Structure 1
Amino acid sequence: MNILRRFFLSNKTHSGDTSVSIPSGQLILVRSPASPKSENECLYEDVILSIRETSSPFNYQLVVGKNHTSEQDLISDGDDENNEEDELFESDTTVLKSFLIDAQLKFILFEDTESEILGWKDLEGDAGDMYEYRINPTVPQDTVDHFLFAIYRCEYERKYKRSSADIHAASLKEFVVEQKDLQLEGDHILSSISTASSTLDLHSNLQGVDDEDEADEEDEGDEDEFQDAIEEVATEEQVKGELIGSVLCDLFVYDAKKQSFKTKQKGMEASIEDIGHWNYLMQIKKKQSEEDTKSKDFSIVSYVIEQLDPTFRFEQFSFIFNYFTEKAGYTFLMRFANRDEYDKFQKMFAKALWQHNNEREWRLIKETEQDYLVDTFRDVSLSDEDMPDAVSDDDDDVEMTDSTVNMKDNESDSEDEQKTRYKNSAEHNKGLKIGLKDDRAFISRGNKLGIFRTDNDDRKLTFSTAIESISSSRQKNKKINLDRMMLQKGDTTMIIQDTADPNTIYKMDLNRGKVVEDWTMTKDSVGIPVVNFAPNDKYAEMGDEETFLGLSKQSLFRVDPRTKNKIVDSDFKQYKSKTNFSQIATTDNGYIAASTKGGEIKLYDKLGRNAKTSLPGLGDDFIGLTTSSDGRFILATCKTYLLLIDVKIKKGKYRYKMGFERSFGKDDKPLPKKLTLKPEHLAYLRQVCGNNMSFTKANFNSTLQYKTNTPSSIITSIGPFAVTWSMRKVLKNDPEPYTIRRYNDTVMMGDFTVHNAHRMIFTLPDDVTLASSKSFKKPSTEFGGVVKEYQG
């Protein structure tokens, strides 16, 4: 049963009922890129969003209210008549901001890597300005659904001046907003909005509501159930666009219960169509003859988006992708007759996906870059004759029992009072930073920092201490929620930032347990918001150096806290064009890698100079960026895949140099190798975690204990699964290079300990655990019992 039907059958609440609210979130004013003010602004940190009736019939307010007051205070109707500017609006002391709910606001619900966001237009701001209400991840999905549908009903009542109490769900379709609806008006869309958002899914649900049966279907035999379930994918072509091209193929579907692909239909035609506003459709349907134009064979229609989990297999001339309905997820395989058909479709798909992600014309980039972007879909081999041997995955690893510290366990009465306060916090574990000196783990939990240590054998993890109520050194009542963390001076100092306030960076003395300095970056008396920072070199955190690297949207610079303006003029690189930097990382030699929101990577040998190498972006922003110690490998984390890039120059005058030191030839840029889970595994995860699932920042294991600088493993997580890739298997193009491990909750972040390359520390919302690489299993073992569920 779809979400909209569930809402209307189970809840007849009136639109203005006082129970309609979202209890916790953050209000942000997102300014248009064309706005002269340019920077976004966090207006309120923790506020309630609610709906209430006005004094005028069929009109409702969207109210942003203080979170420390009672719900009754916030949403009471009140009789205050002091506000004479607009008779529709009422006032009380708890209201921070209010909006008349109207279709002109263009409400849109979408997702990013951390939370769901409700967005709407700022009708009083500059063209393209919008508000974002970033919903706290702890808010139940039903509450969000309930709230959004209540907004649609309010819009309906305002437009038609009648009650929405007994209307059919389909009557609300006109109020569902998608990205293209905003683009038609020429608005500058929020950069975080994706057509793979929940709004797109909701639109699909609304379209199907008239045809859906009231009752759930009963289970049938396994084979019949599988075939019947697949048939719901079948859809008639409803959207016509400009044909980019088409190819012939045979279609196969993955049978999760048998764990193999089986023939679905042969003689299919796969096409890509441009439907405008940077949106593209992939349609797969039976190739029809002139005599059979009325045939209604099985067909698939899908947007061309990254959430298809596209995977090209050159050796089989095949393309694998995932497709989702309300009830299930399916993995399909298209097999092409020959290489020409395979290459043609690969280029069409790459072009459409790139244009969708970048909102730019493919023809505007150089032909060499076009070839580069198409080639990134290949299963690239990184192995060569001078590739150093990575440390064996099993070297020096021994079996161990996981050591877990649970924040919610009830311990003895003699338990340390500080630990009790830390674990009883309403917040959850979020960030993780491993100290280079002695493997201490620093874990952020709201405005608290927990510190954990491993024993001498790296086989047990224990709670050490906690720093509580972290706040500004200048404004003691200004709490700091730790988002970014960097250690200095042998793990005695930590540089921190609350991303809700990009204009300020804080220095915390870990020995004293308090913030001792607040810094604001300025250049020529102009403030520079910091989007990220990194140590001068990969292991600078172990030394006494106080300077470090900073990154803004348009510049790279060195921060020297001892100076007045904090920015070193001689080490400042400013770009005039809109670069939109987001991530930064350094090597052992101090080389710098910086990436943009479109996934472009720039490599520098020294701060203040032009980049030696620029690698084109695929259109996806990076969640994280890191390098191997020697700088040979770059590892970038995207939402559903990792990119591993070997930046050693293989031929020509500068052979054996790194891309940080010299530029690659124009036809010799290194291709990234995509690391991801098998499509059928991703399909299962999407069923469990939804489209909001994302990899966490991936890291190489430390090689301080070895003479080689080549890492042996990569660690990341997605949903409740921790995932490790073997570098040895990746470099040898092993078909199954990763192992996994399932936890009983979402894995928030993971990283290797520094002094043992086979030990990993993971944070779960309320757990911290130390694990061994031997505790990970092959996907066929760990996924075997659960992947069968995703079509059930």
Structure 2
Amino acid sequence: MFSLSNLVKYIGSGKDAKDAEEVVITSGKFYLIRYKSKVRRLCLFNNAQLAIRKAGVEYQHQLIVSRLYDEGEEPDSDEEIDDEQIFLADELLKFHRSKYDGKDSFLWNDVQDAHREDYEFVVDDSKKEKISIEDVVKYFAMCAWERRNNRPYNLALEGEIKDIIESMADDTGDLADAINDLSVSVKKGIPEEEGIPEVNLPEAPSDEVKGTLIDDGVGELFIFDPHTSSFVFCEGNTRASVVKTKKFVYWMNVSSEKGPVITQLVEPNMNAIFNHDHTSLIWNYFDTNGLPYSFSIVFEDASNFSALHCALAQAAYETVNQSPWSKVGEAEKNYMLSVNQNNAEMDVESDFEFDQSQEDVIEDVYTKDGSVIYGHKEYSEDEDEKQGREESDEEDSQSDDEDESSPEDLDAAHWDSKHKNSKLAVGYNHDRSFVLRGNQIGVFRHTDDDNLEFDTTINGIDDTKGNEFLPSNMMLHEQDQSMILSNPNQPNNLYRMDVEYGKVVDEWTVHEDIPTNIVVPDSKYAPTTSNKTLVGLSHNSIYRIDPRLPGQKCVDDEFKMYASKPNFTCAATTESGHIVVAGEKGTVQLFDRIGPRAKTALPALGDSIIGIDVTADGRYLVATCKTYLLLVDTKVQDDPKGRNGFQKSFPKDKKPVPKRLCLQPSHVVYMKSSNANSDLTFTPARFNTAPHDSDHAHRGERLIVTSSGQFVITWNLNKVLKTGRGDIYSIRKYPDNVVADNFKFGQDRSIIVTLPNDVTMIQRKDLQKPTRKSLAIQTPVRKLRSNNTIVNSPY
């Protein structure tokens, strides 16, 4: 048996984590205990080991449970949890000795989960361990003492380690008791000597908002603590209710036995997320000063959960659509309710394969004295992401100094200081990116080492008659030799700029009576060819544009006009030329060609769709709304020919339910805290482009990129499909709001990011899992390379 003096050598050495010795229990089983679930005990790892080792921060240690594989056994890529589960060695875990089925075990809380869960490691009594159960607990207590006091164990007073062991062993009940213990952080404030600030509730209203009750639900209320990056218990027996105060206006009241806690108008910035598996709701609340909070209610049962879910769905629908919920059919209602849940898995069968190898990712728990503390792993990184990080490590180490430099000053004679950057077009055939600023276009070359280099400026955009205008849209065409421009003062016309010449050389009247609001390529990769034709849209029409026609360029026999007012807002095309069109009311329609009616029309959710993209094969769509994205699988299930919604209509009761991709309300708290004036507003999301390789095989799109405010955000498509979760993403902060972003053509390693006065290329590996630290750190804008002095402050 180890004595405490023998254990001292394991801690306080100041070595890096990789050099540190560790305490190990070599064999056992790892369980998740769910106190509110019908299946109370779930075996996560049938064969596992437990270790306590030093972290990468001084005086911090990690409790790590690792899955073990028998000789010759291969890891299962379909496993839903990572092969290592990592926890911060802290007193809050209540790590203590226990018993299960007559065997020794270790039991601890998951302090980051608001849903009453514990973990238990049951020791294999058939194996002889080098360290006793008692000494593992002693070692953990020593690590916890170092963490609490930020100094080596040998400075501890007599009896302090014993006190920690006893305090952790006191909590042998379920997680409900643990959460109640943690509630002092809200009700009384954490003791000052622990150094963690008190979590403040917003000022409570004097009374609830009065109105017609729609429905309510009862449960336990939690509030997100940004200091610990976790939800902590706030109040039990809390009632959340939705009331209607006047036509199409709804409020949500949250009250405990002590009185009202909050009341708020039902509107999109609530960012409400429901989880059926945990019967919970998480949402954002903003006080009168705009300060952000994130609350969660874990409902007593499924009926309470369903009641509030339906009530909020009705309130949200009527608020956005200004139309009665009663006029919506039952099938459409169920469709909308399904979209708002964050736990349904999607079909992952596809024409391309993903490598599911995994890499450790650990999450911040909280920061004390400015140091980052590490905690429980939330999700893994796939091999493709890992490879992207490794490929550019060497080049990044060579360019770190350059990355942190500021751009050179702008020569006012070369760049328009009156306007801001507004649009981005990424080249297809030539490694160039084009940024629109007023009536000028900045041209930037993509270097071989994935940087941007200023090339030239196209000055003074004007029409063929010499009249200058400020383009509202631009699109590359004909192998990057042409740029199609829209003039808001002449909405029925389009303008073709010769990119090499830098001048508008053609002016086309598309239709004398119909404005062209949207222009997209004939097919997804048509811009890589010499194809001349385009697809145009007005607010209620879709048509082919052929600039070779005399007079009007609209093709008469490829023209579709709607008598209703769909108010089209965006469109995209597949590699085969199929068209997806979205509208102001959230409509999404799939066409196999222009003219006939849509093959598929998805139920409108009400929120305006401001951008849409589609994979080359048409399998997946991503639609952008203001506060969330929608990912749609267009495959028609059970179709023997394997067709999608562009080629075949869905059965009425089997339309695909979109997966909602959104930011976690707790992350919105961090984001709003750094920029209180910035609302959550996404830019149009894009898939990475992945054309055919040299063997004519389609590599498949893997990532989605968008931005909101100062943050660039990416979702891993495979991760969303495998887990069913739309709130797992990577993120990067910039010093200013992001105007536009897109992947470099043909790969997913580099992302071009446009700010109001800058443009840069970021490597995908530089995006991180969202934590308190990563959401606060701003990315320095990379210094652009130039042979002259006109690379300037806008870039």
Same-fold status (TM-score > 0.5): yes
The Cα shift of 1:410 comes to 2.8
Decide whether aligned partners of structure 1 residues 785 and 571 sit closer, same or farther in structure 2, where only a CA change above 3 A counts: closer
The Cα shift of 1:532 comes to 0.9
Q: Does 1:776 align with 2:775?
A: no
Which residue identity does 2:533 align to in structure 1? T
Q: Does 1:241 align with 2:233?
A: no
Q: Does 1:341 align with 2:332?
A: no
The equivalent of 2:10 in structure 1 is: none
Q: Does 1:716 align with 2:706?
A: yes
Contact 1:305 1:353 survives alignment (8 Å)? yes
CA deviation string 1:260-302 (max 9, x = no partner): 1111111122111112231111111125xxxxxxxx6242111
The Cα shift of 1:460 comes to 2.5
Contact 1:444 1:483 survives alignment (8 Å)? no
The alignment partner of 1:594 has SS state of strand
Between the aligned partners of 1:222 and 1:274, the Cα distance in structure 2 is: 47
CA deviation string 1:25-53 (max 9, x = no partner): xxxxxxxxxxxxxxxxxxxxxxxxxxxxx
Which residue identity does 2:434 align to in structure 1? F
Contact 1:439 1:755 survives alignment (8 Å)? no
The Cα shift of 1:630 comes to 0.5
Between the aligned partners of 1:608 and 1:709, the Cα distance in structure 2 is: 31
Q: Does 1:316 align with 2:278?
A: yes
Q: Does 1:542 align with 2:542?
A: no
Contact 1:702 1:754 survives alignment (8 Å)? yes
Decide whether aligned partners of structure 1 residues 769 and 467 sit closer, same or farther in structure 2, where only a CA change above 3 A counts: same
The residue correspondences of 1:195-594 to structure 2 (distance < 5 A) are 229-232=200-203, 234-237=204-207, 239-286=209-256, 297-327=259-289, 328-379=291-342, 380-386=344-350, 388-390=352-354, 392-395=384-387, 397-399=391-393, 400-401=395-396, 409-410=408-409, 421-423=413-415, 425-455=417-447, 457-474=448-465, 476-477=466-467, 479-499=468-488, 501-522=490-511, 527-563=513-549, 564-594=551-581
The alignment partner of 2:735 has SS state of coil
Q: Does 1:658 align with 2:658?
A: no
The Cα shift of 1:547 comes to 1.4
Decide whether aligned partners of structure 1 residues 727 and 785 sit closer, same or farther in structure 2, where only a CA change above 3 A counts: same
Between the aligned partners of 1:356 and 1:615, the Cα distance in structure 2 is: 20
The equivalent of 1:692 in structure 2 is: 679
Decide whether aligned partners of structure 1 residues 425 and 785 sit closer, same or farther in structure 2, where only a CA change above 3 A counts: closer
Between the aligned partners of 1:276 and 1:629, the Cα distance in structure 2 is: 46
Decide whether aligned partners of structure 1 residues 612 and 691 sit closer, same or farther in structure 2, where only a CA change above 3 A counts: same
Between the aligned partners of 1:752 and 1:226, the Cα distance in structure 2 is: 41
Segment of structure 1 superposing worse, 367-376 or 690-699: 690-699
Between the aligned partners of 2:419 and 2:458, the Cα distance in structure 1 is: 14
Between the aligned partners of 1:441 and 1:632, the Cα distance in structure 2 is: 28
Q: Does 1:745 align with 2:736?
A: yes
User: Number of residue pairs matched?
Assistant: 545
Decide whether aligned partners of structure 1 residues 224 and 670 sit closer, same or farther in structure 2, where only a CA change above 3 A counts: same
Gap runs ≥5 in structure 1: 1-219, 288-295, 412-418, 788-792
Decide whether aligned partners of structure 1 residues 529 and 785 sit closer, same or farther in structure 2, where only a CA change above 3 A counts: closer
Between the aligned partners of 2:649 and 2:688, the Cα distance in structure 1 is: 28
Which residue identity does 2:278 align to in structure 1? Q
Between the aligned partners of 1:274 and 1:556, the Cα distance in structure 2 is: 39
The equivalent of 1:56 in structure 2 is: none
The Cα shift of 1:494 comes to 0.8
CA deviation string 1:513-547 (max 9, x = no partner): 1112233332xxx5112221101100111112221
The alignment partner of 1:301 has SS state of strand
Contact 2:582 2:589 survives alignment (8 Å)? yes
CA deviation string 1:661-700 (max 9, x = no partner): 1111111111111112211111232341535341112111
The equivalent of 1:644 in structure 2 is: 631
CA deviation string 1:405-455 (max 9, x = no partner): 9996238xxxxxxx7634453322221111110231011011101111112
The alignment partner of 2:201 has SS state of helix
Decide whether aligned partners of structure 1 residues 440 and 300 sit closer, same or farther in structure 2, where only a CA change above 3 A counts: same
Which residue identity does 1:377 align to in structure 2? N
Contact 1:557 1:573 survives alignment (8 Å)? yes
Contact 2:733 2:777 survives alignment (8 Å)? no
Contact 1:390 1:710 survives alignment (8 Å)? no
The residue correspondences of 1:86-235 to structure 2 (distance < 5 A) are 229-232=200-203, 234-235=204-205
Contact 1:538 1:590 survives alignment (8 Å)? yes
Between the aligned partners of 1:388 and 1:602, the Cα distance in structure 2 is: 25
CA deviation string 1:347-381 (max 9, x = no partner): 11112101111111122222111111111012232
Decide whether aligned partners of structure 1 residues 585 and 434 sit closer, same or farther in structure 2, where only a CA change above 3 A counts: same
The Cα shift of 1:778 comes to 1.7
RMSD value over aligned CA atoms?
Answer: 2.6
The Cα shift of 1:704 comes to 2.2
The alignment partner of 2:460 has SS state of coil
Which residue identity does 1:649 align to in structure 2? V
The equivalent of 1:625 in structure 2 is: 612
CA deviation string 1:484-530 (max 9, x = no partner): 111111101111114465333221111221112233332xxx51122
Which residue identity does 1:347 align to in structure 2? C
Q: Does 1:759 align with 2:750?
A: yes
Q: Does 1:728 align with 2:718?
A: yes
Which residue identity does 2:440 align to in structure 1? K
Contact 1:446 1:481 survives alignment (8 Å)? yes
Decide whether aligned partners of structure 1 residues 242 and 495 sit closer, same or farther in structure 2, where only a CA change above 3 A counts: same
The Cα shift of 1:398 comes to 2.4
Which residue identity does 1:609 align to in structure 2? P
Segment of structure 1 superposing worse, 657-666 or 492-501: 492-501
Decide whether aligned partners of structure 1 residues 499 and 251 sit closer, same or farther in structure 2, where only a CA change above 3 A counts: farther
TM-score between both structures, scaled by the size of structure 1? 0.65
The Cα shift of 1:601 comes to 0.1
CA deviation string 1:725-759 (max 9, x = no partner): 11221122176631111222222111111133211
Between the aligned partners of 1:385 and 1:715, the Cα distance in structure 2 is: 22
The alignment partner of 1:430 has SS state of strand
The Cα shift of 1:574 comes to 0.7
Contact 2:688 2:704 survives alignment (8 Å)? yes
The equivalent of 1:81 in structure 2 is: none
Decide whether aligned partners of structure 1 residues 784 and 591 sit closer, same or farther in structure 2, where only a CA change above 3 A counts: closer
Between the aligned partners of 2:600 and 2:294, the Cα distance in structure 1 is: 37
Segment of structure 1 superposing worse, 717-726 or 570-579: 717-726
Between the aligned partners of 1:236 and 1:500, the Cα distance in structure 2 is: 52
Between the aligned partners of 1:532 and 1:356, the Cα distance in structure 2 is: 28
Contact 2:732 2:775 survives alignment (8 Å)? no
The Cα shift of 1:786 comes to 7.0
